[in-house]
Amino acid sequence: MTTTKLAPRYDPSAIETDIYRRWLNAGVFTADVQSRADPYVIVIPPPNVTAVLHMGHGLNNTIQDVLIRFERMRGREALWLPGTDHAGIATQNVVERLIAQKEDKGRHDLGRDRFVERVWEHVRETGDTILDQLKAIGSSCDWSRTRFTLDEEYSHAVLKVFVDLFHQGLIYRGYRVIHWCPRCHTALSDEEAEFRDRDDHLFYIGYPLSDTAERRGTDFVVVATTRPETMFGDVALVFHPEDERYRGLEGRLVRIPLTDVDIPIAVSARVEREFGTAMLKVTPAHDANDFEIANELEGEYAMPVVIDAAGDMADDPRVPTALRGLERYAARDKAVAMLEAEGLLERMEPYRHAVRHCYRCHTVVEPRLSDQWFVKMKPLAEPALRAYREGRLKFVPERWGGVYENWLTEIRDWNISRQLWWGHRIPAWHCEHNGCRHITVALETPGVCPQCGGSVSQDEDVLDTWFSSWLWPFATMGWPQQTKDLQRFYPGHTLATAAEIIFFWVARMVMAGYHFMGERPFETVYIHGTVRDTLHRKMSKSLGNGIDPIEVVGLYGADALRFTVVAGAPVGTDVILDPDDLETTFASGRNFANKLWNVARFILTNLEGTTVPWQHWDPAQFELADRWILSRAQQAIVDTTEALERFRLNDAANTGYHFVWDELADWYVEQVKPRLYGATPGGDVARAILSHVFETALRLLHPIMPFITEELWASLPGERESILANAAWPTPNSTLVDGEAEDRFGRVQALVYAVRSVRAEYHVPPATQIHAEVQPASTEALEAFNAEQRTIERLAKLTTLAVNGSGEGIGAHQVLPDGSAVFVPLGDAIDVAKECGRLRSEMERLNTQLAGVTRKLANDHFVKRAPPDVVERERDKERSWREQRDTLSTKLRALGC
RNA sequence: GGGCGAAUAGCUCAGGGGUCCAGAGCGCCUGCCUUACAAGCAGGAAGUCGGGGGUUCGAAUCCCUCUUCGCCCACCA
């Protein structure tokens, strides 16, 4: 690219695809197992295969990319391992819906094999979409290592884990009350059944005592329940053993209303005496708590399941004929009506409570007794807990560690069997030959039952998706094979994700990491916020408040997207974006990219002929501004590096922004113009420094804005690494840190600001050149003004600046922070009364401040107890304010106020 | 029921004992198409740092409390 071709407006769409290809061709993203460099590894939170990129992905992956690019530039062997997740329930639902729409068929019409084949077809079609979209936002993943949780090798790892855990006694099969989604037709784990508030009713139902001659009337026990339709599954009523109100009822019988089933009354300490009537119906097959109670009661209790897998009333003798087959909520209404007719509904009241819902389809989950596979979690949780408590696993921000710890402490067994077809089929072989119920758990079928020689069939269920995701950090690297990758790149370093997934994924990866690899999967978990709209609602498809990152990339470029998102995502806070105003939302990123582009445009058109790099020049030839910008650049390096090391990505973004815009563009570029144009000598020095400083800025900004920085990098003349993505991260050069230059250039800036302020105040037309005078408050100020006199004149549009001028005439006065006095003689343009007013209010402000600091310094406690440097600073302040005040009063007198 | 977070300019947020007479971006007001950039330049207005109490020489910052929002966990059916 030749410099003259740079258009005044940055057009990201013209370059992004090419740049990405350039990186791919150069193999920049491919991690080298042979490399001796210190590895740095991030594994991607694998998006669902069927997913389309949304803003949450945008944020999550931008963060990972910034981190991986930063470490890559720092010389580490960076590996960002990408891939996708088969997402059992979600994907199966999607394909089921498609088939239903297109062919009006259910999965059972197709049969298992054909259905699974259809899902594969779908996944093959959509699987690369999300990965291509990740490329569009600049993600520097190592695509040669892309994995899918249903890849053959990966699947082998999943099954092996199941078999191993089973043989270690950490996986078992058993009857438990699990969360059942009647719509998805599968069991769910505790984490997949999420609480949501629901408006229901609390029904007070009379259970007639059935072991007494009197039938109706006063002799019944009232039970409060939200779920009357489950009463046909009741096996007992219980009250608290110390509840006086029900003394004597223990051992009596009641009849389940609408049936002729009698059940006993018993006691249980689990009953809450303050709730309802303090008499609890025990429905062991449809309530986990009731299941526990029933198991604790004396004697054997049947556990009738009265609601079937579809959520309808079961065809069970205990269920009244009129209700059988009815959907559970219809059955509830009808049962209530029937109770009312029987006079057994004492009353009902509105009741709002938290009910578990399926996290995929939001259907109310049905607690249901069934035979499932579970992982025993306590032993696995131990090392994961210890790692956190002993500081081997860190969370950023720290508070999420508490959430992690709490969950692991209270952990319950994990139901991992799903009654789905899409996923890893459980490697268990059932024999049901002549009452032999032996189960063989093995990677391959045993052929015949090892116990009775009967035929076996494979378990119909698949494993929870998360049972494969929890192996992601090492199964992606070839485990259980001892691959080179595994040796080199495990354990990894940073995991970036959202808080919602700490239980589902993060904690479980740590458990699996310790159990199978004997080592943590990563050292730091960086928890970022959620992307929300301006009403602070989570962006979601159903609310229609989402932003399509690809649309944003098309409109404003990937760098604008990345910059906006990173700058707006301080550690630990949510990112608020306005879906109704993309223009405003992404303006800061887009504008900044454009600024960078134009700085480059200016520099490149003036850089021709530069051959001698800045290091080769004698620093004695450097002007004050040169020393200043070099010093500021060191600060920018220090600040950006520290920010990225501390995961303060927003600080890194803002540091780059301010350095480029407020210092490099607004001041240095302006200061350097006369030299570049040949108006003053030293053009080559200026060019060398400008080039160096800009190059540094590109390096610092590259992790956040990779496309534009790479593009501009390629057009910079001079010797340096050919690809910025692979270039070295800058290190601060202490010899360039120049406090004196920063102090003096600061005085120059203050003087320019003061004159500009006067110009604006008195509406001096921009084209009009005026005269100004300054009386420096110190030799430092004097030297600064002399050194940059030309700069001051140019930037403040002055005919001349008189340093130590006479200060005579009618004009506007300004006092600089260091006490230097500025005088702009404007003659008739000056409204003396107005000027006096302005100066007086200035004086007032100074006096107030002075009074404050004087009071402070007069306070013995302060002077004695405060640290000496603080006291010293206060003294400095007082001194400088006094100087300013003295200057001001001279001015006031001169004006005759 | 338990826990966590947030409250600072109209909006989104920095700042987490003195370096801040309280900052940024966007928005707003004034003036400018000044040969890198109008996606820009220059200047400016705007905040009792949610209320109350306390600790301290000193509080936006630490502690307590209240209010309001948000999130997570939880077997009162």
A26-51 residue pLDDT tens = 999 999 999 999 999 999 999 999 88
Looking at residue A12, what is its pLDDT? 93
Integer distance in angstroms from CA A777 to C1' B18? 26
d(CA A84, CA A550): 19
As ranges, strand B nucleotides with an atom below 7 A of a protein CB are: 3-6, 11-15, 18-19, 21, 24-27, 30-32, 34, 36-44, 56-58, 69-77
Q: Which nucleotide lies closest to A668 by the C1' atom and the CA atom?
A: B36
Eight-class DSSP state of A425 = B
Integer distance in angstroms from CA A406 to C1' B53? 34
Looking at residue A812, what is its pLDDT? 84
Looking at residue A514, what is its pLDDT? 97
Integer distance in angstroms from CA A615 to C1' B42? 35
Please answer whether residues A572 and A397 qualify as being in contact, where contact means their C-beta atoms are separated by less than 8 angstroms. Answer: yes
Q: What is the pTM of this model?
A: 0.93
Helices (H), A343-499: 378-389, 399-409, 465-469, 472-475, 484-489
Q: How many CB atoms lie within 10 A of CB A487?
A: 10
Integer distance in angstroms from CA A530 to C1' B43? 38
Match 């790692």 to its residue by tokens. Answer: A387
Looking at residue A1, what is its pLDDT? 40
Question: How is residue A677 written in tokens?
Answer: 């144009």
Question: How is residue A54 written in tokens?
Answer: 């949304």
The CA-CA-CA angle for residues A301, A302, A305, to 5°, reads 140
Of the candidates A84, A82, A111, A87, the residue with the CA atom closest to the CA atom of residue A99: A111
Q: How many CB atoms lie within 10 A of CB A858?
A: 9
Please answer whether residues A883 and A819 qualify as being in contact, where contact means their C-beta atoms are separated by less than 8 angstroms. Answer: yes
For CA atoms A23, A27, A31, A35, the dihedral sign is negative
Residue nearest to nucleotide B70 (CA to C1'): A536
Q: Which nucleotide lies closest to A860 by the C1' atom and the CA atom?
A: B57
Integer distance in angstroms from CA A664 to C1' B33? 23
Looking at residue A2, what is its pLDDT? 41
Q: What separation in angstroms does the CA of A386 have from each of A42, A88, A168, A895?
A: 23, 31, 21, 75
- Residue ranges, chain A, pLDDT below 70: 1-5, 213-218, 569-572, 609-610, 807
Q: Which nucleotide lies closest to A400 by the C1' atom and the CA atom?
A: B4
Looking at residue A213, what is its pLDDT? 60
Integer distance in angstroms from CA A408 to C1' B53? 39
Integer distance in angstroms from CA A406 to C1' B3? 10
Looking at residue A180, what is its pLDDT? 94
Q: Which nucleotide lies closest to A752 by the C1' atom and the CA atom?
A: B42
Integer distance in angstroms from CA A758 to C1' B44? 12
Question: How is residue A247 written in tokens?
Answer: 């003394």
Residue nearest to nucleotide B18 (CA to C1'): A870
Integer distance in angstroms from CA A576 to C1' B11? 11
Q: 3-state secondary structure string, A481-542?
A: CCCHHHHHHCCCCEEEEEHHHHHHHHHHHHHHHHHHHCCCCCCEEEEECCEECCCCCECCCC
d(CA A377, CA A362): 26
Looking at residue A5, what is its pLDDT? 60
Q: Which nucleotide lies closest to A648 by the C1' atom and the CA atom?
A: B14
Q: Which nucleotide lies closest to A763 by the C1' atom and the CA atom?
A: B31
Q: Which nucleotide lies closest to A397 by the C1' atom and the CA atom?
A: B5
Tally: H helices and E strands in chain A: 29, 29
Regarding beta strands A253-255 and A262-267, do their DSSP bridges make them parallel or antiparallel, or are they unpaired? antiparallel
Q: How many CB atoms lie within 10 A of CB A632?
A: 24
Looking at residue A550, what is its pLDDT? 93
Question: How is residue A884 written in tokens?
Answer: 């300013």
Integer distance in angstroms from CA A841 to C1' B22? 20
Looking at residue A483, what is its pLDDT? 96
Question: How is residue A474 written in tokens?
Answer: 């090492």
CA A831 to chain centre: 57
Q: Which nucleotide lies closest to A592 by the C1' atom and the CA atom?
A: B39
Sorted by sequence, the CB contacts under 8 Å of residue A411 that are 6+ apart come out as A377, A378, A381
Looking at residue A216, what is its pLDDT? 47
Question: How is residue A266 written in tokens?
Answer: 């018993």
Please answer whether residues A140 and A65 qualify as being in contact, where contact means their C-beta atoms are separated by less than 8 angstroms. Answer: yes
d(CA A771, CA A776): 16
Range list of β-strands (E), A544-695: 575-576
